[in-house]
Structure 1
């Protein structure tokens, strides 16, 4: 992986940076951290200037305050990356990172050249417009017990999270070091998931105002909710393309890197 640096602006951000050319800002998913973009770096470092920050509470970035943290804190962090680039960026987000990237494009459209989102977690779209399978999946999480702060960081809570986005019993076959890494950010993951599951449906109208050229991607083997959010967002946005990645689930930006990068790169060349 590319060595990181710690930069201090409004806060401390651990940043992985490499390459030259048009700037691409990569926003990671819940529980992942910026290091998980390593295969994307290997694919794109000779084509773009890549900037991949660790969100608050991950790696050497600043801590998050459980009492006051909101998604807007991450949007502000992304805003600092947009300022660093000094020109409109190609903004790429995965899952939770996709939801944050969408909000950043809404706030600073003039700083975003294109927006590429792999299964962005916009759960309000499932509640408001989702099909029956997607709403049924969401009910597994969108209830008072799963969202109880007392459960933040619990193994059982994390196992439910991991198994849903990966596959059944995946938590049980993870290496101990992998489980420990997720436990280390478990309370932050809880805060991220809770914030998105409690997002008001009124946000949908705001997202509809995002007018940057947008690529929404999803896998053909993803969850019903992941597929629903991607398709509903593609119907909502005014300037959007929808791409399905074959033989791919929710974690395709990490494990099906070649087709994901190819689709995004083609979109950037065409629309950027």
Structure 2
């Protein structure tokens, strides 16, 4: 399906990057990173389907396909791709499927669980236990409770009770994105793990993670590190999953180093 794509250009240097935000976020999440990188590049950010001011996804088809097509449609010639969480999996997919469009690749806390579950299938039961509360909330139809649990596990550390009501409502409205993303994030619906595919993403790549993130984040990083041929891995001390927002300055150095070698 074709949706309206809302974009915001953080103007800076002539070099241009495309930034893809996380689930439940919006293009404004890149404000801090863009400001710190303004002497290096201009950052074109956009809102994912149903997020921010972009068109509403009608819940048909594969949402990762829809979001990836939206992102790919914004790339004019080789660009630097920067993605966070769900957005990082979109950047990764484009790098694998259309490497000619990607000058460099920055993956911040990619939630590509499928790679881990192939490498360590015994972790599936552990993962199910860790997500039992959210799965139970979805099964009961309580999307607000699912949003609360998601915020607890993958948010910036702000307790649910301290969030503004409008933010709670926003997260509840979009929480269906989590199970809808499972086809790609858990089951590799695009086949990126098929033999020989990851090697196509040979552009300079940096993977940035926080040392306070959920344990699965480090496992995803390790699985991608051994598959991508030109990757460096950076761990930010004291940061969690939302480090582009909570620690924007800490992600800038690794990105600048990546730009210098690409």
Q: TM-score range by the shorter chain?
A: 0.7 to 0.9
Alignment partner of 2:129: what SS?
Answer: coil
Query: Are residue 232 (structure 1) and residue 213 (structure 2) matched?
Result: no
> Is 1:63 aligned with 2:53?
no
Moved more, 34-43 or 243-252: 34-43
Cα displacement string for residues 163-183 of structure 1 (whole angstroms, at most 9, x for unaligned residues): 111378832332223212212
Aligned residue in 2 for 1:161: 150
Shift of 1:233: 0.5
CA contact (8 A) 1:123 1:229 kept: yes
1:13: how far off?
0.6
Whole-angstrom CA distance in 2 between matches of 1:208 and 1:241: 15
Aligned to 1:105: 95
Q: 1:207 to 1:141 in 2, by over 3 A?
A: farther
Tell me the TM-score normalized by structure 2: 0.87
Q: Post-superposition shift, 1:225? A: 0.1
Query: TM-score if structure 1 supplies the norm length?
Result: 0.84
After superposition, residues 165-184 of structure 1 pair within 5 angstroms as: 165-166=154-155, 170-184=159-173
CA pair 236-59 structure 1, distance change in 2 beyond 3 A: same
Report the count of equivalent residues: 258
Q: Secondary structure at the match of 1:92?
A: strand
**2:80 corresponding residue in structure 1:** 90
Aligned to 2:210: 219
Task: Find the counterpart in structure 2 of residue 4 from structure 1.
Answer: none
Following the alignment from structure 2 to structure 1, what is the Cα–Cα distance between the partners of residues 141 and 188? 18
Q: Which residues of 2 match residues 120-131 of structure 1 at below 5 A?
A: 120-130=110-120
Separation (CA, whole Å) in 2 of partners of 1:136 and 1:32? 29
RMSD of equivalent CA atoms: 2.8
- For structure 1, which runs of at least 5 residues remain unmatched after alignment? 1-9
Stretches of structure 2 that go unaligned for 5 or more consecutive residues are none
Provide the secondary structure at the position in 1 that maps to 2:176. helix
